[in-house]
Amino acid sequence: MSRAVTPPVTTGRTRSGRPYRLRAAREADTGALLRLHDAVAAEGRWMTGVPGARSALEQTLTVASAIARGDLMLVAEVDGEVVGEVTVSRRWDRSSRAIADLAVAVGEGYRDEGLGRALVEAAIAWSRAAGLVRLALRVLPDNRRAVALYRKLGFEEEGRSRAAADPAEAERELLLMALALD
């Protein structure tokens, strides 16, 4: 059974030496998270979806819901700016309560700096402390850096799926990966 766990604030330095901080997201981060998601989506290479797909109200509700449900939503800050995010969303149906879905976004200019790794490692540690047994994720197969990172951290490929949430994305394939936490 999963437990409520408060994520610690974590600090470190990027590969280029800039200080960063990982902390729990707050409702006040809504605008920054929306800008981050829209910017990464606009690149068209790292995530499915399109800029503007989520309104400010929807993003506010997403953050509030994660907080209320006890899910993990961490942001990465560099120089006080939100430049990355990781979420661990627990599945709530009876048969898969100890499984969660992982999602990560790191803004352009902050990739290859170790922030993605720091976010995913923090998510794995939090998930273990919360009593989860499995983390699952979906990633575009041509996002080689992310796929390589997930493999280094123990995630295994489980299959492929179509990115059918948006009709414009229906033909894009997603790689399904998971990590056993026990």
**Mean pLDDT per 10-residue section of the chain, whose length is 182 residues:** 75 96 92 91 76 75 79 94 94 77 94 96 95 93 93 95 60 88 88
Asked whether residue 67 is domain-assigned, the answer is yes
Asked whether residue 177 is domain-assigned, the answer is no
Give the separation between CA 104 and CA 85, rounded to whole angstroms: 6
Query: Coil, helix or strand for 99?
Result: strand
Q: Check if the beta carbon of residue 120 is closer than 8 Å to that of residue 86.
A: yes
Residue 81, domain extent? 10-133
Asked whether residue 181 is domain-assigned, the answer is no
Asked whether residue 151 is domain-assigned, the answer is no
Per-residue confidence (pLDDT) for residue 92, from 0 to 100: 75
CATH number, position 33: 3.40.630.30
Asked whether residue 35 is domain-assigned, the answer is yes
Tokens 């997403």 found at: 62
pTM reported for the whole predicted model: 0.89
CA-nearest of 94, 154, 96, 161 to 125 is 154
Q: Check if the beta carbon of residue 113 is closer than 8 Å to that of residue 15.
A: yes
Asked whether residue 64 is domain-assigned, the answer is yes
State the total domains in the chain.
Answer: 1
Asked whether residue 115 is domain-assigned, the answer is yes
Q: Check if the beta carbon of residue 108 is closer than 8 Å to that of residue 76.
A: no
